[in-house]
Amino acid sequence: MRKYETLFVLKTNMEEAARVALIEKFTGIIANDGEVTNVDEWGSRKLAYEIEKLTEGYYVLVDFKANPELPRELERNFKISDDVLRYVVINKEEK
């Protein structure tokens, strides 16, 4: 299993319960085929530039261990979710 981290930005106009459910959904996808080592919610922050007419986003950083196929599945789920503004998945072992 390789070490990865993902940072995703959610819309801030979501309700608290919906945001928690979405974070649990993504960490659940990771936990099904890998291991979540850390979830760090950075909270609402100002975006560097406007995205979909929004100036703030809710940032979440997740460190995890997984097989090489999992990041592709995670990115697919990020793409189909309307509440995710931006995301990135990084292999921490590559240099």
What is the domain count for the chain? 1
Provide the residue range defining the domain that includes 14.
2-91
Per-residue pLDDT 10s for the chain (95 aa) are 899 999 999 999 999 999 999 999 999 999 998 999 999 999 999 999 999 899 999 999 999 999 999 999 999 999 999 999 999 999 998 75
Cα separation, 55 vs 46, in Å, equals: 6
> How much is the pLDDT for 40?
95
Integer angstrom CA distances of residue 40 from 27, 59, 60, 62: 12, 9, 6, 6
> How much is the pLDDT for 90?
95
CATH number at residue 76: 3.30.70.60
> How much is the pLDDT for 93?
83
Q: How many helices (H) and strands (E) are present in the chain, helices listed first?
A: 2, 4
Cα separation, 31 vs 12, in Å, equals: 25
